[in-house]
Amino acid sequence: MLTQILPIDGSSLRLAKNIIERGGLVAFPTETVYGLGANAFDDDAVKLIYATKGRPSDNPLIVHVHRDYDISALVRDVPDYAKLLAKAFLPGPLTMVYASRGKVSSTVSCGLDTLAVRVPSHEGAQAFLKFVGLPIAAPSANLSKHVSPVTARHVFDDLEGRIELILDGGKCSGGIESTVLDCTGDVPCVLRSGLITRDMIAKVAGECDEYRMVEGERVRSPGMKYKHYSPRCRTALFSYADRMQALALYRQCLSRGERAAIMCDDMTAADMEDAFVLSLGADENAVASNLYDRLREGERVADVLIAVAPLKQDGVMVGVMNRLTKACG
Ligand code: AMP
Ligand code: MG
């Protein structure tokens, strides 16, 4: 299968609609990462997502809809706090989990009675969703367990020959996946942290819980139990306090004749002397936005990627640390 990368315009959107309507897959940009989309009503198309990515069959998908789509067609029991949150943050990088009406393919939610819904703010995603006019089930457009894609090229590197079309909307600005929020209880509960932080949600909703996996308990966000985001090279992760150990490991690698790189924010980079640094940027939003691009660059240029965690650990960094630990820990 030939994989085309096309800019988003009338002709690529017509092709995208055609592919989706005949049960195929289209990769499209969002403000977080690139998604691999299929018609959420078409069970075979949704199954094709799992086969194409090699995704475990118990890891449910998020349904993406256009900003004008009436989600009450897909879900029920939307609590008042969720309406406030939708007004405050949508379209944007917040996925909300509700009781499902069971209208979309049951494969989307892997048999759960809930449905995760997201309204992406990326212009290209909105254009695609409007043109296709269907709810689109989509996980990140990478091979399962690899680093999520933030450019059309990243998608191509993983899925060339497996999908027909990648809509190219440039580099994703957000960089890490959406916050997943359980809206089925009296109080919203963060299942996966992201750019919309627990504090931001609590300010609007009054309160907000955060889910922590407990050994032996049923996992509420099945995707969280999997190893994710792994670059294809050896990795090591150090805390900010241990950054000099990171530098020592870097020197050891070089002396063994291995290619090494240090991935860290600008503050840490200042202490890394003449080491080869893949910079994550200065502030938390830059770090989130650059993380996956640097992980993919790291696997290309280094045998050993040595990550140093930023000093700041709250806000958006909660989501960054979750990914960084899974990728390099
Ligand atoms: P991905 O699209 O690869 O970022 O993965 C989607 C994430 O959304 C996974 O972590 C899933 O566990 C989570 N998710 C999707 N649907 C549901 C649902 N119905 N209930 C809880 N979590 C969900
Ligand atoms: Mg993913």
Provide the pLDDT for residue 42: 98
| Residue 228 CB less than 6 A away from ligand 1 | no
Decide: 96 and 183 in contact? Cβ < 8 Å: yes
Average pLDDT, the chain: 96
Ligand 1 atom 7: residue of nearest CA = 223
pLDDT digits (tens, 9 = 90+) for 62-88: 999 999 999 999 999 999 999 999 999
What are the backbone dihedrals phi and psi of residue 104, each rounded to the nearest 5 degrees, phi first?
A: -85, 170
Sign of CA dihedral 59, 189, 179, 241: negative
Q: How far is 79 from 105, CA to CA, in rounded Å?
A: 24
Sign of CA dihedral 320, 181, 144, 11: negative
Provide the pLDDT for residue 179: 98
Ligand 1 atom index nearest CA of 112: 19
Ligand 1 atom index nearest CA of 109: 19
| Residue 115 CB less than 6 A away from ligand 1 | yes
Bridging pattern class, strands 114-118 and 94-100: antiparallel
pLDDT digits (tens, 9 = 90+) for 256-274: 999 999 999 999 999 999 9
| Residue 180 CB less than 6 A away from ligand 1 | yes
Decide: 179 and 185 in contact? Cβ < 8 Å: no
* C-alpha distances out from residue 249 to 60, 235, 243, 257, Å: 39, 11, 10, 13
Provide the pLDDT for residue 216: 74
Please give the single-letter amino acid code of residue 9.
Answer: D
Q: How far is 183 from 135, CA to CA, in rounded Å?
A: 19
Question: Which portions of the chain are predicted below pLDDT 70?
Answer: 223-227
| Residue 97 CB less than 6 A away from ligand 1 | yes
| Residue 30 CB less than 6 A away from ligand 1 | no
Name which of 163, 173, 101, 161 is nearest 138 in CA terms: 163
Ligand 1 atom 6: residue of nearest CA = 61
Q: How far is 85 from 237, CA to CA, in rounded Å?
A: 35
Q: How far is 243 from 272, CA to CA, in rounded Å?
A: 8
Question: How many Å lie between the centroid of ligand 1 and the Cα of residue 95?
Answer: 9
Question: Which string of b and e fits 62-87 if b means at least 16 CB within 10 Å?
Answer: bbbbbeebebeebbeebbebbeebbe
* C-alpha distances out from residue 5 to 142, 143, 151, 153, 159, Å: 15, 17, 11, 8, 11
Provide the pLDDT for residue 167: 98
Ligand nearest to the CA of 230: 2
Could you give the domains of the chain?
Answer: 4-210 (3.90.870.10), 234-328 (3.40.50.11030)
Per DSSP (E only), the strands in 129-221 are: 136-138, 165-168, 179-182, 189-192, 209-210
Provide the pLDDT for residue 226: 67
| Residue 120 CB less than 6 A away from ligand 1 | no
Ligand nearest to the CA of 104: 1
Provide the pLDDT for residue 307: 98
Supply angle C-alpha 16, 22, 26, rounded to 5: 35
Ligand nearest to the CA of 145: 2
